[in-house]
Amino acid sequence: MSRENGKEVLVGVRNLKKHFPIYRGVFRRQVGAVRAVDGITFDIYKGETFGLVGESGCGKSTTGRTILQLLEPTEGKVIFEDKELTSLSKSEMRRARRDMQMIFQDPYASLNPRMTVGGIVAEPLEVHSIGSRKTRKERVKELLDLVGLNPYFINRYPHEFSGGQRQRIGVARALASNPSFIVADEPISALDVSIQAQVVNLLDDLKAELGLTYLFIAHDLSMVRYISDRVGVMYLGRIVELSERDEVYDHPLHPYTQALLSAIPIPDPEKESQRQRIILEGSVPSPSNPPSGCHFHPRCAYATEICSDVDPEFRNLGTSNQPHWVACHHAEKFL
């Protein structure tokens, strides 16, 4: 496994792109592409929780799915435990999938309503031919217990459970094949506030207990700060800033990160009344026709000529021990 800063790299993402073609007309000619993920490069270290944040449509979910090869990348590489995933054959990929699993956003849509809880959680075991029928049943009970559900529920159906419990079933399913890497795509956004903390604490405990590595995708910046070790901020298909959690939140170097952080409502009227909000103009442009140069320049208060002409380089303005990557021509201003 490759190393960086003395840490093992579990997942290496290199210039990853995912473009969805747009077809028009009788002959279904391709007239353009939605550039959902447009050239991103980052590492996920073994044992860490990497938080990926951004607003809807920025490409964070597509990034998660493309890393797992659930979507075929248009370009770029994903290196997982020294294997280059994009070059694997179908059967090799299927074998590799054991080690990387996904937890989905909507616990109502991601569980088959006609399958029992036992069937749902055992499915990855069957697909990957792990264990015998009998050991599988034991394993399912063990998994249910692990995620805080009564193993007695094994023959019940998803509709008999609440949202939080369903999400636990989703977690149990993801853990079934004993993966080392889990992509959690907005795992708590469909849940009520009092239940969110339950599920986040569960994910935290499981990580410590099983030595998991997470890619945690979310739009809730407070929760991402709480759960992540390092954080990447996405805007229109690109990562614009990446560093240690507290670095990103306390010393944001990209104007978009600054605006995003200032927009989060804080449940404290005193702090709220003293805050200076950066209110962004307009909304996120279409990823099928992103602005030239820096994608953020039309909404940026610091934009100059260079921003509309030249793509900013993703560069390290931190130290080699604590890198702070940012894609902004004017980031030095905020150091």
Partner 1 sequence: MAPLLEVRNLVTRFYTEQGVVHAVNGISYELDEGESLGIVGESGSGKSVSVLSLMGLIPSPPGRVESGEVIFNGRDLLTLRQSEMRKVRGREVAMIFQDPMTSLNPVLTIGRQMTEGLKLHLGMNESQARNRAAEMLNLVGIPGAEDRLSDYPHQFSGGQRQRIMIAMALSTNPALLIADEPTTALDVTIQAQIVELVKQLQEKLGMAIIWITHDLGVVAGMVEQVAVMYAGYIVEQGSVWEIYKQPAHPYTLGLLQSLPKVDAKNQTRLASIKGLPPDLRQEFDSCPFAPRCPYVIDKCEEENPSLLPTDVPERRAACWRWDTVLEEESRFGVEA
Q: Which of 89, 193, 313, 321 binds partner 1 (CB under 8 A)?
A: 193
Q: Which of 91, 155, 283, 319 binds partner 1 (CB under 8 A)?
A: 283
> Site map for partner 1, 78-97, x if CB under 8 A?
--------------------
Nearest approach, Cβ of residue 124 and partner 1 (Å): 27
Of how many residues is the chain composed? 335
Is 246 among the residues that bind partner 1 (CB under 8 A)? yes
Nearest approach, Cβ of residue 66 and partner 1 (Å): 22
Is there a contact between 257 and 241 (Cβ–Cβ < 8 Å)? yes
Nearest approach, Cβ of residue 306 and partner 1 (Å): 24
Q: Which of 28, 271, 276, 321 binds partner 1 (CB under 8 A)?
A: 271
Is 219 among the residues that bind partner 1 (CB under 8 A)? yes
Q: Which of 86, 222, 258, 288 binds partner 1 (CB under 8 A)?
A: 222
Site for partner 1 in 4-33 (CB under 8 A): none
Nearest approach, Cβ of residue 269 and partner 1 (Å): 5
Nearest approach, Cβ of residue 322 and partner 1 (Å): 14
Count of residues engaged in binding partner 1, rule: CB under 8 A = 45
Which stretches does DSSP call E strand in the chain?
3-4, 7-24, 29-45, 49-53, 75-80, 83-84, 100-103, 181-185, 213-218, 230-235, 238-244, 315-316, 324-326
Is there a contact between 264 and 222 (Cβ–Cβ < 8 Å)? yes
Q: Is the dihedral of CA 158, 160, 166, 172 positive or negative?
A: negative
CB-CB neighbours of 30 under 10 Å: 9
What span, in angstroms and rounded, lies between the C-alpha atoms of 190 and 319? Answer: 38
Is 259 among the residues that bind partner 1 (CB under 8 A)? yes
Is 233 among the residues that bind partner 1 (CB under 8 A)? no
Residue 34's φ and ψ, nearest 5 degrees, are -85, 115
Site for partner 1 in 153-192 (CB under 8 A): 162, 164, 192
Is 265 among the residues that bind partner 1 (CB under 8 A)? yes
Nearest approach, Cβ of residue 294 and partner 1 (Å): 17
Query: The tokens of 227 are what?
Result: 């759960």
Nearest approach, Cβ of residue 223 and partner 1 (Å): 5
What span, in angstroms and rounded, lies between the C-alpha atoms of 23 and 115? Answer: 37
Site for partner 1 in 195-214 (CB under 8 A): 195-198, 200-201, 204
CB-CB neighbours of 22 under 10 Å: 12
Is there a contact between 190 and 163 (Cβ–Cβ < 8 Å)? yes
Q: Which of 261, 294, 307, 326 binds partner 1 (CB under 8 A)?
A: 261
Is there a contact between 143 and 209 (Cβ–Cβ < 8 Å)? no
Q: Which of 267, 276, 319, 321 binds partner 1 (CB under 8 A)?
A: 267
What span, in angstroms and rounded, lies between the C-alpha atoms of 335 and 326? Answer: 11
What span, in angstroms and rounded, lies between the C-alpha atoms of 107 and 3? Answer: 36
What span, in angstroms and rounded, lies between the C-alpha atoms of 102 and 64? Answer: 9
Is 275 among the residues that bind partner 1 (CB under 8 A)? yes
Applying CB under 8 A, the residues found at the interface with partner 1 are: 55-56, 162, 164, 192-198, 200-201, 204, 219, 221-223, 225-227, 246, 249-250, 259-273, 275, 277, 279-280, 283-284
